[in-house]
Amino acid sequence: MKFTNGYWLLKEGIEPHYAAQGFDAEKKDKELVVYAPDRPIKSRGDTLNCPQLTIRYSSPRKNVIRVRISHFEGQIDAGPRFAIDEDPAVSPEISVVPAGDGKTGEAAFRSGDLSVHVTLGGAWQVEFRGGGRTIAGCGPKSTGCMISRRCPGFMENPVTAFPGGGAGPARGVYIKEELSLGVGEYVYGLGERFGPLVKNGQSVDIWNADGGAASDQAYKNIPFYLTNKGYGVFVNETGNVQFEVGSEKTSRVGFSVAGESLEYCVIYGPEPKAVLENYTALTGRPPVLEDDTFGLWLSTSFTTSYDEGTVMSFIDGMLDRGIPLKVFHFDCFWMKGFHWCDLRWDDATFPDPAALIKRIKARGLKVSVWINPYVAQRSRLFEEGKAGGFFLKKKDGSVYQTDFWQAGMAIVDFTNPAAAAWYTEKIGAILDMGVDYLKTDFGERIPYDAVYFNGADPARTHNYYTYLYNKTIFEFLEKKKGPGRGCLFARSATAGSQRFPVHWGGDCESTFEAMAETLRGGLSLGLSGFGYWSHDIGGFEGDPDPALFKRWLQFGLLSSHSRLHGSNSYRVPWNVDEESVEVCRVFANLKRSLLPYLKDCSEEARARGIPLTRAMALEFPDDPACACLDRQYMLGPELLVAPVFSPDGAVEYYLPPGDWTHLLDNRRETGGRWMKERYDFLSLPVWRRKINRNPPA
């Protein structure tokens, strides 16, 4: 959020209370507490009528420093809070040297190789040092409590969370922080973002929205970024964190939240992989998934007409053509229209679903079905949920309903343990039929004026809802199927949701531009701690032309997870053209041959939080040519993939220094240069680099 009008002026109606001075500091157990009034204290009289910020430094894990900025600390914290895995063995070093005799003092806090240094007695100055060098900091007019007099058009919530949802945060009080952005410093992450990979110059709202894959809205908003200077920042707030990445002040990254406090963690690397490793140690890592999940998934698509005959003809058509299919997915209309989600098969279309599932599994496939947490009024579950108190409510106690998506739909309240148990009991009946995986769609259109069972703050639960939803379903799957056998296909996410894979890119269009947007979203998500990622091959909206479909097949089958899915047309390759069948067969078999390698990469995601689909800057942080690349990627540590984004097969990409072998034609090249080539539909730039697996000690 921008509080200023240019560099010198404030926006109309803003009353700032900046930390002006580190007046005093004290050590409290494992915490350093700094008191920062909003004006320099030169005499006793200056302590009167003087707002003061309390800033607490602590360490949840080695090489991580947590900062909590508070104005009023007497507020009720209704939650929710992200689940953070803290290490109680951390023993920070804390020192306080008071100011005196006309000299400034210093308060210092160290955790591992990361330290923070706060000037006492002089102008507000904070320095974060990693490995002895300054990596970030803040100075005057960076840390503050901003009070708005609610001038028209400014403090209203800039995003619509729910139709008819209201006017945003009730209080005009915000806590903001600004950290320095150095020369040549690039910012990455902040979730699944479809614009440029480097976030400098962007304003980003951490607010989940069902906004498609072609705007500044996103399904997966993560309040975490990392930079090429050896550190990352995780804002530990579940509500709407608003980032200004060099966009309000070009040499600062600003972030703010509504309320009386703000908490963030500075996470040291210094390598970007180490930053991700430390961040995911805090917020969670994904499990290793079953082998079949890495194979090709085929969907019925969204609004297409299908029945048992259609389904089996598609499955047999794929297998007869030598395409190694692994999972078949039933999208929305396995249930009756107007009845979603009643979690009951449409008996007019599928009179014997258990027998159908048995026939599918006899072909060696797993089965997935679509669900979401919304219950239409006509659903058989509506009256049960209403009677049990299992839905989100309005302030008057009535069920929160809307006609947007499904007529009269309600929303399952996963803060209520009884509601979660009720909902998963219904899902259990589907799993008992033989369903293996679940596509947990939606979870973004959550009202921020609803009442939750546990009394949570609805504005702070809007993003967090998806965590509760997918956690409930994933853990139930693992309970029913056994450890290591759970798998979702989820669209919405927040920090920590990487624990419950897989996530796919959402509703993109069927164009080359959308294919590039999709890749940018996946690379940003990987730089936000997500190990696995998928997308709709060919795009979701529209009918891909043959050239686009074949190029997207290559890209999709060289992603961690691969799914053929669309909106209103079947995505079986022979519906496009016969060459698409051959492309699908070649690359599905190629992916099958890569399974041992993908499993090794999956283990690295589990153990360290390193994604399978990697931005070039993550794998080659010391190569400045890789810093901004977002039209190519690494699949694991060895494979470079440069998707073709043109109908004529022309592609330009960068091959980093090293010895490389083309995976498809065995050509060898020495890297460190740009390549400009043209490929037919059975090939693309996919190179394997030679890695010394046993480097000298």
Token pair listed for 44: 């006793």
| For the chain, domain boundaries | 16-74+82-268, 291-370+416-604, 613-689
Residue 602, helix vs strand vs coil: helix
- The predicted-structure confidence for 628-641, as pLDDT tens digits, reads as follows 999 999 999 999 99
pLDDT value at 696 more than 90: no
Query: Are 2 and 9 contacting, i.e. CB atoms less than 8 angstroms apart?
Result: no
| Count of beta carbons in the 10 Å neighbourhood of residue 86 | 14
Q: How far is CA 248 from CA 142, 178, 202, 396, 506, in A?
A: 12, 10, 9, 41, 30
Percentage above 90 pLDDT, the chain:
94
Does 291-370+416-604 match 16-74+82-268 at the fold level?
Answer: no
Could you give the CA distance from residue 576 to residue 566 in angstroms, rounded to a whole number? 13
**pLDDT given at position 692:** 77
- The predicted-structure confidence for 640-677, as pLDDT tens digits, reads as follows 999 999 999 999 999 999 999 999 999 999 999 999 99
- The predicted-structure confidence for 235-279, as pLDDT tens digits, reads as follows 999 999 999 999 999 999 999 999 999 999 999 999 999 999 999
Query: Are 326 and 318 contacting, i.e. CB atoms less than 8 angstroms apart?
Result: no
**pLDDT given at position 693:** 64
pLDDT value at 169 more than 70: no
Average pLDDT value for residue range 425-454: 97
pLDDT value at 168 more than 70: no
Cα diameter, the chain = 88
- The predicted-structure confidence for 503-558, as pLDDT tens digits, reads as follows 999 999 999 999 999 999 999 999 999 999 999 999 999 999 999 999 999 999 99
CATH 2.60.40.1180 fits 613-689, yes or no: yes
- The predicted-structure confidence for 380-400, as pLDDT tens digits, reads as follows 999 999 999 999 999 999 999
**Residue 162: pLDDT band by 50, 70, 90 thresholds?**
very low
Helix/strand/coil percentages in the chain, nearest 5: 25, 30, 45
Q: How far is CA 560 from CA 170, 577, 601, in A?
A: 42, 25, 9
Residues recognised as catalytic: 441, 444, 507
Write a three-state SS string for 197-225.
CCCCCEEEEECECCCCCCCCCECEEEEEE
**Letter for the amino acid at 591?**
K
**pLDDT given at position 694:** 57
Q: What is the dihedral of CA 581, 583, 585, 587, to 10 degrees?
A: -160
Alpha carbon 685 to chain centroid distance? 28
**Letter for the amino acid at 565?**
H
**pLDDT given at position 558:** 98
**pLDDT given at position 149:** 73
| Count of beta carbons in the 10 Å neighbourhood of residue 349 | 17
Core vs surface per residue 394-424: b (16+ CB within 10 A) or e: eeeeebbbbeeebbebbbbbbbbeebbebbb
Q: Which fold has domain 16-74+82-268?
A: Immunoglobulin-like (2.60.40)
Instruction: Give the residue among 32, 1, 26, 29 at the shortest CA–CA distance from 16.
Output: 1
Could you give the CA distance from residue 206 to residue 256 in angstroms, rounded to a whole number? 11
Token pair listed for 692: 């010394």
Pairwise pLDDT comparison (693 vs 573), residue with the higher score: 573
CATH of domain 291-370+416-604: 3.20.20.80
Q: Is the dihedral of CA 612, 324, 490, 160 positive or negative?
A: positive
- The predicted-structure confidence for 341-353, as pLDDT tens digits, reads as follows 999 999 999 999 9
Average pLDDT value for residue range 190-202: 98
DSSP 353-398: HHHHHHHHHHTT-EEEEEE-SEE-TTSHHHHHHHHHT-B-B-TTSS
**Letter for the amino acid at 162?**
F
Q: How far is CA 297 from CA 212, 384, 432, 491, 536, in A?
A: 22, 34, 21, 16, 10
**pLDDT given at position 259:** 93
Average pLDDT value for residue range 427-447: 97
**pLDDT given at position 150:** 58
Q: Half-sphere exposure of 150 toward its Cβ, with a 13 Å CA cutoff?
A: 10
Q: What is the CA radius of gyration of the chain?
A: 26
**Residue 622: pLDDT band by 50, 70, 90 thresholds?**
very high
Expressed in angstroms, the distance from the first to the final Cα of the chain is 49
Q: How far is CA 377 from CA 334, 407, 421, in A?
A: 18, 6, 20
pLDDT value at 157 more than 80: no
pLDDT value at 160 more than 60: no
Mean of the per-residue pLDDT values for the chain? 95
pTM: 0.96
